[in-house]
Structure 1
């Protein structure tokens, strides 16, 4: 009988779920705060169920001789050393969807409180001022709500807003027209959303692409008198720019549940007018905390008793026997997905994944998950091998797989075709005898390129002198070329350059390269 330690405060119902599933469980809710005690006893257990108080450090993992799974009741796993857990073969699970309704409801609550200035009116009334004329609000009925990020939580916010008779528009590069139709929202580009929305609610993860998405420049594009709600992630909003917009009247108000630095005990926004602040309460309801506790107990029991895996963060779905054959192709699949995801700038309707040769006879499900992870991660950030298919489905992405015998020169290869609203573009790769993944085709152009941590992708006109100009420019910018790979459709047509470089490119360097004569597109890639 597997044995689980519950070292944080989970509900008795969650503890009973373990027992009902045949799992022996010790409920010691205070041991997570006692580092020495945890180190002393962790070696007895097959599973560890935690919230945020227990720190699963390298030392704890080293002492956990029998541990097979760590289950986090909630989404954040900053308190778990995932690389060390992975190295030791310990599965790390979380519950990413247990607080979606709670967070969405908080956003709606913040919007309504903002519309009617409820916190300020409450404080004024309690002070005996009775300033009825001061707190003139606005209705939300018939107003336009702009949702930035229309995934699981954003979709729930859209549904609730429609119940309030609001017009809902949404910006999300992964939202397909079909999914938008199902949700009853109008899909728009970011600039249009900023210009049209009376209220803007953020529901996107914090990634390089979304950091500071509400910048001074984008605030200037908003409708005068618009109101902003952020119950997603700190760092999405330029807090200094927001304060200025509230002070000069560009925005009529803002409601913030998250901040760039937390705990937010001293923040420039706190002195701003027409601002509502809450201390990261998005997931703080009794129901949400109960839901994630029950969910993690069910997940851990299913794994320990039956081998079923859900919401794993460190790719547990390959057995030890098949890992040596599959892992190189998993790595290739994620790199192909990442390559395509970093280059795709419009909404993705679907992907087609072709497996040819020996790879088609392997377990391709982990490869599909890895590929979708690569595609989605550049914009969604918090994506893992298990959640990627769910997130793709939530966004209406159609995933097609094709398995066939070897037909061409390569013994095996994987081809990914990304289908957007505008076009279809493909990238293909293989694994050579050395076990390293290689690109063999990009957008129909044959080329062979090793995938390295830092690369530069360029499409250009195939004209004499271009390579010389590009090489000179990179040299002048002190950018060292590790490898230079070229391909073209036809003489004088479009060409592709894939350049392996040492170090990272700055935004200024990318702009300089993009402005070079003959360049049609220049984009840094990171793997």
Structure 2
């Protein structure tokens, strides 16, 4: 009988479902990392919420562990690469608390519009300051959504019911999907200029970190009210405080902070600022939903091998898995690469397989490409739900097979259609197991896509590589591997360097300042 540990407080229905499905379960919460490390070896599954940190050390001690189930969306507390290396499936429940989080955003919008927290404190202090609290109606106002995925679309639906005008910024939102939602799609700059209220519904990635920076906050309409129930780090908190103090920002409500628990913050006690302690998923219904879902998913996996909402494996039969595994690794890396490099609205994703790759089951390969591509912008994407999310966002997905071999025995090509045209990357397998990039935007370049990488496009001119190497050396950066390609002599060249440490914004700025550099950015795999 499989055995599961529930290490965080969870609704009792989770344990009940495990037992009903033939899984032995222990509910032991509040353990220290050392205590958990000492006991985890006897369990096949670990069910968690946000308190338990599933680190590499815990995973190394988990000699029998097969699956980690997170009752909720975020998996920041799980070392997914280490889990994958150990062969441990990591699952989450990405849709269990969507309505709850959306409703909390709407609640904070109302609280800002009518200054409810301060009005409550004043009234209970016996002041009866009726003329002090002059609020605004939400009816007829413009709500700007930054992120129009699952939760954002629910907020849009509720806001439209309140007779608001809803505008949205989301690189993956197509005009057709926007029309279906009843929102107007626009650029971030246009949204900032027009919105009376702004609410964020996007994960924290390199692309979205400080999306409301000091520069972008300065572009907003005077008196704008801002709500964040998504992730801490999407807003520059110091710039937000400055905007509130100056009166440019009319109000802000945060449910999430850069540092949590937020026992201290410069925003605290700032006029027109409301805060809640990460309550987005804190309703009875949501807690029950995610507990039931994670128990059902983990039990299905442990008893029958079914895989649902897994973040690091696709749905596969036992017979297909060994042959498809290296192809899916290649597909996910190519998807991630083009997802990090392609900018603007993505209307179409094409997956072209040649040679031996064309003979395989394409569904897991396509799912792996979409998961790598969309995961750059969303931490809820996995190989199971990636096709659904792509369809929900109105993205066209094309699959092309060509069993005839070209330059390589087997090849995968991933192309995206953007406003700038078609962009593509291609890769193959060395020794039938090792994923390798062989073409980048029409330039032949062979590279392993691993860890932290520096991507540079530069003019092909003598001395550039030396200047780059000197710059990196002076910055204390150690190069792991160095890959170079070019279109033609004296034309455009591409460099891909693997770096031992994280590629910092300061390093990117330094490289971009070198003569001849057209583009420089960080990549992560």
Structure 2 CA distance, aligned partners of 1:469 and 1:437?
A: 31
The within-5 A match list for 1:352-363 is 352-363=350-361
Matches within 5 A, 1:87-486: 87-315=85-313, 317=315, 325-381=323-379, 383-433=381-431, 435-451=433-449, 453-459=451-457, 466-468=460-462, 470-478=464-472, 482-486=481-485
SS in 2 for 1:269: coil
The residue aligned with 2:18 is 18
Using the TM superposition, name which of 358-367 and 3-12 deviates more.
3-12
User: Which digits, 9 at most, give the CA deviation of each residue in 1:322-352, with x for residues without a partner?
Assistant: 5554333222212211221111110112211
Q: Is the CA contact (8 Å cut-off) linking 1:473 and 1:513 kept in structure 2? A: no
CA distance in 2, matches of 1:477, 1:4: 51
Q: TM-score w.r.t. structure 1 length?
A: 0.88
What's the RMSD between the two structures over aligned residues? 3.0
Question: What is the alpha-carbon distance in structure 2 between the residues aligned to residue 443 and residue 24 of structure 1?
Answer: 50
Find the aligned partners of 2:186 and 2:17 in 1 and give their Cα distance: 44
Change in CA separation of 1:447 and 1:15 when aligned onto 2, cut-off 3 Å: closer
Answer yes or no: is the 8 Å Cα contact 1:353–1:416 preserved in 2: yes
CA distance in 2, matches of 1:501, 1:17: 46
Partner of 2:492: 495
CA distance in 2, matches of 1:4, 1:453: 32
Relative to structure 2, which stretch is displaced further, 141-150 or 34-43? 34-43
Secondary structure, aligned partner of 1:214: coil
Output the CA distance in 2 between the equivalents of 1:209 and 1:176.
Answer: 19
- SS of the residue corresponding to residue 27 of structure 2 reads coil
The farther-off stretch of 201-210 and 427-436 is 427-436
- Is the 1:457–1:496 Cα contact (8 Å) retained in structure 2? no
For the structure 1 residues 215 and 58, does the alpha-carbon distance in structure 2 shift closer, same or farther, using more than 3 Å as the test? Answer: closer
Gaps of 5+ in 1: none
For the residue of structure 1 that corresponds to 2:340, the secondary structure is helix
More displaced, 229-238 or 363-372?
363-372
Counterpart of 2:352 in 1: which secondary structure? Answer: strand
Provide the rounded CA distance (Å) in 2 between the counterparts of 1:495 and 1:83.
34
CA distance change for structure 1 residues 55 and 423 in 2, over 3 Å: closer, same or farther? Answer: closer
Contact 2:172/2:345 (<8 A) preserved:
yes
CA shift for structure 1 position 262: 1.3
The alignment partner of 1:138 has SS state of coil
Taking a change above 3 Å as real, the CA distance of residues 257 and 450 of structure 1, as seen in their structure-2 partners, is closer
Q: Distance in 1 between matches of 2:136 and 2:127?
A: 21
TM-score, normalising length: structure 2: 0.89
Q: How many residues align?
A: 519
Asked if the contact 2:314–2:367 (Cα under 8 Å) also holds between the matched residues in 1, the reply is: no
Alpha-carbon spacing, 1:366–1:135, altered in 2? closer, same or farther (3 Å): same
CA distance in 1, matches of 2:241, 2:96: 33
SS at match of 2:411: strand
Work out the CA distance in 2 between the residues paired with 1:469 and 1:367: 41
**TM-aligned CA distance change 1:454 to 1:232, over 3 Å:** closer
Tell me the secondary structure at the aligned position of residue 136 of structure 1.
coil
